[in-house]
Amino acid sequence: TTTTPFGDRPDQPPPKLDTCLSSAVATSFSHVALLEVDDTTRVGYQYYGSSLGTYQQWPGTQWCPETYDPRFRDWYAGGIAGPKDLVLVLDTSMSMASGGRMEMAIDAGVKVIDTLTSVDYATVIAFSTDARPLGGRSTLLKATKYNK
């Protein structure tokens, strides 16, 4: 199954490079699966996410919604960036109170935090006239499900 998150053009086929690479992934996985599996009840999956947002899953399924973008998943972000330390500074000043700015900033921050894996460390700092750590901790925390 191959999907692309190209905004208002969800019917748009993936770029030729992504089509070629996802085909190679499927062929490679099929080859490895045939060589290594000795238990016919065992199931294996392989996922491919490109920097353009194309997503391919083998074996295919009809599950993938149009809004799925692998670039915002921890398995993709962790694979391309490796371990990281993140200090997210959120503007909480009055200028953020109108036009949905605060909601957009929070949504963006959540998307960034959702890309973190258990090898990453992060903290969130609220900034207005002064800076203060959210949650009262000024140290980086391991990005576990609990801490996120």
Q: What is the pLDDT along the chain (148 residues), one digit of tens a residue?
A: 556 665 545 556 666 777 677 677 777 777 766 766 666 666 666 777 777 777 777 666 666 566 677 777 777 777 777 789 999 999 999 999 999 999 999 999 998 998 888 889 999 999 999 999 988 888 899 998 888 8
Given this model, what pLDDT does residue 130 score? 93
At residue 133, the 3 state secondary structure works out as strand
Amino acid at 44: G
Percent of the chain as helix, strand, coil, to the nearest 5: 35, 20, 45
